[in-house]
Structure formats: structure tokens, C-alpha cells
Structure 1
Amino acid sequence: MNDMTPIQTTLKDWETDQEVRWCPGCGDYAILKAVQRTLPMVGADPKNTVFVSGIGCSSRFPYYIESYGFHTIHGRAPAFATGIKLANPDLDVWLVTGDGDGMSIGGNHTMHILRRNLDCQIMLFNNEIYGLTKGQYSPTSRVGTPSPTSPIGSVDRPALPCAFALGAGARFVARGYDVSKDLPEVLIAAYRHKGAAFIEIFQNCIVYNKDRFDDFIAKAVAADNQIMCRDGEPLLFAKNTKGLSLDLKTLSLKVVPVLDGDWQAAGVAVHNPRNRGLAHMLIEMPFGAFPMALGVIYDDPAPTFESAVIAERASLIAGKTADLGKLLSKGQTWTVPESSDAHGLMD
């Protein structure tokens, strides 16, 4: 989160003169507009904003945001983002990655930026496929996904990005999807969180994994198959006719009917994003028997990595005068006399 004074901008101020180039119908277009709408809402300043990406379809993002940007190397965007934030902690850093870039080759880097709690917003676009490299199954592809590398269906059990983030020590975990009207709300919450904010965004790959998320996004089923998590609000879905209740015997969630809108009598739980256990249960609910949990699922700030590094630097230099010559001569050093026989030293 940027601590500098908010300024007034419009969506147009965040658009570049570059031609936006994704496949027609790609969900990335909707995410781009959601981000460009969000940045004016939070008072972000283009001069103090940096977008960092790795490799993949999502990684075109820095070209299309009128701010500073780095299109880096496969899976290593977190390392660049860390260096940027340590060099200038006042910068507002956004990291853009995908399910392949961030969960496969970059999984190690994703883990460490989360556990360190670097103050940045991490958007992981999850289309459950490798789009840029022509449709191979990815770490998040569902069992049975057909692809060039799994022609009769993938047998891999998919990774859950949000569960991975929680396991890595993330202090903010959220979910949204590309065309959701609620996506800016989630992005605003991520921006206001002080620390690493991880947002998984389900994104439709129109070419290689079309309509993959229609089982909970399609208009006909959305009300029954998704639940929006908001702090202090009951966990209701299906037009408030169903809710999630905590079964104290099994310490797990269960779906309960809600009669006449009386969610309290039904025992529906109230969402508390500071409850890590509840966050795990919401993220790992088996879809089908349960709705897909969206919104801010976990939000419990902790001291950031860069604040600890800055404090450590300050303590090390307190009361000291910089002396490069003294530093270079410290430790195991020796002097070669001018009269030394160079040839003799080689013998």
C-alpha cells in the first residue's frame, strides 16, 4: 500500500497508448479495466506506481498501465518486486502473475514473497491452463483436463492457489473473477492491506479452456454456486436461502437452509477475515457440495518485510560514519610491496 498522499485521477490517466493485445474475448481485458477503475478509487499516483510481471498472457499487463513497469523473467517477478520495494519503500508495487508463472516455475518465489510479507498486491490470474504456450495443462488444471500434454485428461490433483498462499504464511488472501462487478471491491481491500495481499482471479481463456468457470460464474447458476465473503456479514448464498454454519462436532462447515430470512436461527456463521481457521475451511470447501468462496477470505495484517529491513539498516548505521576505505581494508587483507618481483611471485 502506498503511504503517500492520494491524488485524483481517472481511468483514462491509467491507459497507455499501446494496443491492448490479447485474444478476442480473453478475461484479461476485464481484469485490466477493473484495475484501471480501481486505481483512481484508491487515489494511487502513476508516478509512484510499479507493475511487475513474469512470463505468460497476464504478463503483458505492465504495457497497458500508465505507470512504471517491469516485464521480467519466468516465475521471478517476486524477486524483482522485492528489490524494487527495498530500494524505494514508498512505491506502490503490484505483481501480476499466472497459474503457470506463479505456481509452477515461480512457486518458490511466490512462497517467499508471501512468508516475508512484502508490502505489495499480488494478482494471480488463474485460467487453469498454459495459454501462452498453447494449451498444456497447468498446476491448477482440474483432473481430467484434456490438453496437448494430457490428451486423455490430466491425472494431476490441482494446486489451490489460495490454500498455497495461506500455507506460505500470507496475511491477506482473496478471490475474484474477471467479469465480476465485485472485483474492484476486492482490489481496493488488497490495496489498503499493509503487507503482501494475494488475490486469485479466475480468468477465462477463450481459446484453450473456454468457459471453464461457468459452473459458478454463469448467470443461471451464480447465485447458488458462489458466496461473497465480507467482514461482519453472514455467510449467505442462494439469494439468502442458504448459509454456511460451523459444525462444532466435526469442526467443519456445513450448508444449512435459511427460513424466512432468519439466518441467526439457522446458525449461519458470520464472516471474520481475521480467523485463519475459517479462511482455510472456506478456501478448501469441495465445490459442488459447497459454493465457491469469493471476496476477502483472510485479512490479518502483520509487520512487513521492508519495515524490518529498514529498521535493521537504521540500527546498523546509527552513530557510525561511512568510510569505504576502512570497510575494504577490514578483515583478511595484505599489501604487496612495490619492489616485489612479479616474476618471482609466479614461480
Structure 2
Amino acid sequence: VKTKKLDKIDIVDSPASLKNIQEYYRKLYMSQVLKNNQQIVTLFEKYIARLKAAQTKSTQNEKIEEALAYREEAESARSRAEYTVAKSEVAIIKDEMGAAREAAAEKVASSKPAEEPKETPKEPISHNNGCTVYPPGVRLPKTGIVYKRTSLSDTKRASAKKKVSCLAHVREDKTGLNKSRSYYGSSTFKTGSSLNYVRLQVRTAASSINEDFDVYVEYYSKPVGSSGSIEPELFGTHHIPIEGLDSKYWYIDCKPVSLSIREYKRRSRYRSTYYSTSSYYSDKGGEFYGIIVSAYDKEGNLTYQGCSNSKLATVATAEKPE
């Protein structure tokens, strides 16, 4: 009795259990057929390319008969049934698999209940943590703060498909520092705090319009005057939820975070006719180092994460900040 190939079997509508078994093994069979035919096509194409290279070399060396022989063999290889059938099978199976994927995607999309597009707010959105969100079309306030555009490097921690893009603007205000100097100028004191301002611009990809996201901003410091190996220290975190984010930029003004700074520097000198020496002793606090910006979708997947200093990527994680 002659049996049908799996690709020729008619898929039944019921029972559902039989249909699932047929579809599963037919998919495995077609994947194997595709792989086998791709190997045949690759082998023939390498063979034809080798013949063409030999033809070119013979032509350059004025060996016309050899060149003609290589050309005839290449044309013969292109017309062989094994090659033409394999190429045709590859194209057919790829088209069929592509159509199956599209049908599955449409089925999933159609099974989801339709959601009404969220209307973009017309007023600023203030949060309890002091951060304010400005939807598209809402005018930003005049604060007098001059921000500096800061590039954000991808931390490579996001596992989900990228849905959010972000721009950052930062300002470190050190006007709150008090400076003093000893009578002889041998010691310098700096005490007080700096205020660190962050403004973000966030938006979604066109395919993710009207989705809800949780944006987190983490602030890091480093020891004053440090160099070489640095261990950043977290000194502040903001959580800003955004509902109905779309493909136009939304602005986020974060509440400024204060960072205490203390620095005591002592200088002593010894001079003689032939040489002079100087030494410095200091007790140092922290200074602003950078930020990590993360965005999570409503399922809790990390869809974006960037840092203003590439070294902060070593301390970044995919977990939501506390």
C-alpha cells in the first residue's frame, strides 16, 4: 500500500486532538524537508561558483577551450533537476511557513479583546514623589534650569523587545556648597549638598501605542576626586508610572535629588634653597556620577534600560528597583 507523505496529508477539523498531532508532526516534517533542500541548494551554488571562478581564471590565461568547458558545466548544473526542484521546494515551504506564522499571529491578535484608545491628557500629571509628567502638547514650565543633553548607553539587560526610547537631560547644581579657607591658605573646606536635576523624553514604538509603562530613574554617586576603579553608590530612586504612552515624546521632570558633599583638604609645604615639597591630605564625600533609566511594560518585562555612564552597566540589573 502506498502511503501519503506528511505534507500531502489532509488536516482534519475534528477531533481536535488528532488535528493537533497532524499539525505538529507535519511542521517537523516540513522543517526537515526545508533543511535538506537548503543543503542541496547550497552545495550546487558552491559548485557553480567554483566553476565560474575557474572559467574566469582560464579566460585571463587565454585558455579559451577550458573556459568554455567550465561555462558549459556551470550552465548544466543550473538546469539539473536536483537543483531546480530543491530551489522550488525551499521557496514553497518558506512561503507556507510564513503564511502559517501570519495566520497564528492574526489568531492571537483577534482573540484579544479590543481596547479603546486612551485619550492623551491635556494637563501635566503630578505624582506624589514630586515628579511631573508632561504629555505631548502640554507646555513645559519655565524653570530657568539649563539642562545638558546626556547620551544613554544600552546596558544590554532588556530581554523583551524594545518598545520604549528615551532621551535624558541632566543638570548638577553645586550652588549649595559652602567653601572656606584657613588663614594661611593651607586648608580648604567644602560642605553642603548638590541638587541633581533630570529631565527625560520618552516615547514608544509605533506598534506599542497606548501601552502603560513604569519608568525608573536611579541616581549614583562616586567619591570626590576618585580615579581608577570606582564603585558607584546608589543615593536616590524615582518611580514614574505613565498610562497610555504613545509615539510622541512625553517629558518627565524628576524631583531634584540632593547629594551631601564634604571635602577637607590640607596642604603643607617645605621650601629650602635647593628644593620644595608639598603634600595633600583630604577627607572626601560623594559627587554625582550618573543615572540608570529603566522602563517596564505592564507585564513587568524590562523593555528599555540605558545609563549615562558606561561603567554603570556593571551595576544595572533587570529587576525592578525597590
Q: Tell me which interval the TM-score lies in, with the shorter structure as reference length.
A: under 0.3
Structure showing the higher strand proportion among its residues: 2
TM-score, normalised to structure 1's length?
Answer: 0.19
TM-score, normalised to structure 2's length?
Answer: 0.20
Larger relative contact order (C-alpha < 8 A, sep ≥ 6)?
Answer: 2
Larger Rg: 2
